[in-house]
Structure 1
Amino acid sequence: MKSSASPASSTAAGPAIEHQHSSFYRFVRLDETAALAQRLRDANAALNHAIGGNILLAAEGITGAIGGPTDALLAYETILRAEAPFAGLHFKHSFCTTRPFTLLKVHEKPELVAFGLDGVTGLSDTPDTHVSPQEWRKLIQRNDVVVLDNRNHFEFELGHFHGAIDPGVRHFRDFPAYIEAHAQQWQQEGKTVAMYCTGGIRCEKLSGWMTQRGLTVRQLDGGILNYFEQMPDAELDWRGECFVFDKRIAIDTRRRETETTAEDVYGDDPAEAWRLARAKRLDPAG
């Protein structure tokens, strides 16, 4: 099941905002990424380099987080959808006070999300485990469900779904070990694992692997960002803010930038010092 939500309009959260942020992904076989990467760079050049962000291409598909003036952003999304593998691609929008990115970088990588597990790909033919935001609200209230946050510890600390478990991981690659350590208990207890992440891609990559290990898995379609977009009363289920990997740092359930700073997120935690240093390297005025 793929999300069918339409992009948010500027009136969804008040008056028009100069910049918007757009995130997206799709697992689809790409046989030639070099030529595609250059077309995406050239498309931004044709828009006077109005778009900033990061786009990642791999043999298993595309993922991206981009931002720019609303008109230019919509034009670039149209260009992306014109590429045959990305027809109908869903873009999740949020709003910006700070310009989220300065430059557009298009990368080619072996995987969209690297978990360090051989043979795990988003292209696997596995049962559909997606649930809509509306279904998710009902699902996470059940007693036979484990609500699992598939993000890093610092992201959970900033905000999470009510009743969710924090695996306490510091890197994506540590998540499978947490699953291995708890899978037998969840199976014995007859639990369904309801899993979520920011945009959905991390859950997408691991859901098949978890299903193959005998777990009953459900994943929030489109992740937290889609939940905020689809559910105007998302604050009933969500506690805190949502971390975003750009200059804005965090957004609230209305998809609006908050006043949270990188120092607020990482604090004086030595394990996260490198993330704070990286955040400070971003030019906030760019």
Structure 2
Amino acid sequence: MNSPLSSATEDVAPLFHIAFYKFVRLDDADAVVMRLRELTQDLLGSILVADEGINGVLAGNAAALDRFEQALRDDPLFGGRFADIVFKRSACKTAPFARIKVHRKSEIVFLGVDNVDAVSKTGIDVSPQEWRELIAQDDVVVIDNRNSFEYKLGKFKNAIDPGVDNFRDFPKFIEDHVPEWKKQNKRVAMYCTGGIRCEKTSAWMLEMGVPVYQLEGGILNYFQQMPDADKDWQGECFVFDNRIALDTHLQETGTTPEDVYGGEPDWEWRLQRAKRLDEESD
């Protein structure tokens, strides 16, 4: 059976995916959840809402996504908090999601460190154009702020794999290496898929005495802004939906869950979960 999204849109209009987030203080996160559930009735995907902001991925036809984006920016309930939110949009061949979920959470991204304030402070944003120059510098350590299975599929040249299977394990890698980087007078440049993991990490790292730079908008923005992104990027970019992976032109590839997780016993549960999600979307 086809998913609601594919059956409703495949013969009517092309399908698109958007990713977005914003760290912003929400006075009534529960009210935001209720309003977002109303605004996403014609879409599929997932949005996390917490006191520190929102983090979402959605799919639908262009008109439905346009309406949602406009409402998020202008709806009086949000009080202009999302007026400048950035949406990263890409075309889809595969329906990325099988349902819509809007969840109330304690955080919109879990770093595993308590009381990190990513609303009022963060690291140094670096545009895609500036990023290319930054990561070529000898005094810069380039850190892939993602899981090892994501790094395995694709990465920036010279990037370091922290060797973690969950974002919550990332802080230990940082704590173990900061003294060495400080001793060597290194600067840290971090990147992740859409930017949110880096914003949370850099906010936490501000007091550690190491300059921290983050790729503005993450890998997806780099691909969107840099037509020759393949000069710096090796492989594909993993995405957490049924499309699995994108190339540097934001096009779906033929990569399968087996290509990502196969051969690694510790990742078997991820492979089985990916298969279940794929079956649910058929």
TM over 0.5: yes
For the pair 1:88 / 2:84, whether they are aligned, the reply is yes
2:52 paired residue number:
60
Between the aligned partners of 1:74 and 1:283, the Cα distance in structure 2 is: 27
1:257 is paired with a residue whose SS is coil
CA deviations 1:40-93 (Å, max 9, x no partner) are 111223xxx2x1111000000011011111221111111111232111211011
1:160 paired residue number:
155
1:113 is paired with a residue whose SS is coil
1:170 is paired with a residue whose SS is coil
2:39 paired residue number:
43
Point out the more displaced range, 79-88 or 166-175.
79-88
2:90 is paired with a residue whose SS is strand
For 1:255, the aligned partner's letter is: L
1:101 paired residue number:
97
TM superposition shift of 1:123: 1.8
For the pair 1:276 / 2:271, whether they are aligned, the reply is yes
Aligned counterpart for 1:119 among listed residues 115, 126, 132: 115
Query: Runs (4+) of structure 1 moved beyond 2 Å?
Result: 283-286
1:134 is paired with a residue whose SS is helix
Aligned counterpart for 2:65 among listed residues 63, 68, 73: 73
Aligned counterpart for 2:146 among listed residues 142, 146, 151: 151
TM superposition shift of 1:39: 1.2
1:53 is paired with a residue whose SS is strand
Aligned residues: CA RMSD = 1.3
Q: Percent identity?
A: 56
CA deviations 1:212-258 (Å, max 9, x no partner) are 11111100000000000100110000000000000000000000011
Name structure 1 gaps, 5 residues minimum: 1-16
1:5 paired residue number:
none
Between the aligned partners of 2:121 and 2:172, the Cα distance in structure 1 is: 23
1:13 paired residue number:
none
Between the aligned partners of 1:104 and 1:228, the Cα distance in structure 2 is: 27
Between the two proteins, the alignment pairs up a number of residues equal to 265
CA deviations 1:169-219 (Å, max 9, x no partner) are 011011110011110110111111000000000000010221211111100
1:40 is paired with a residue whose SS is helix
For the pair 1:232 / 2:224, whether they are aligned, the reply is no
For the pair 1:250 / 2:242, whether they are aligned, the reply is no
Between the aligned partners of 2:29 and 2:57, the Cα distance in structure 1 is: 18
1:148 is paired with a residue whose SS is strand
TM-score scaled by length of structure 1: 0.90
2:3 paired residue number:
none
TM superposition shift of 1:136: 0.2
TM superposition shift of 1:116: 1.8
TM superposition shift of 1:125: 3.2
For 2:34, the aligned partner's letter is: Q
Between the aligned partners of 2:96 and 2:57, the Cα distance in structure 1 is: 9
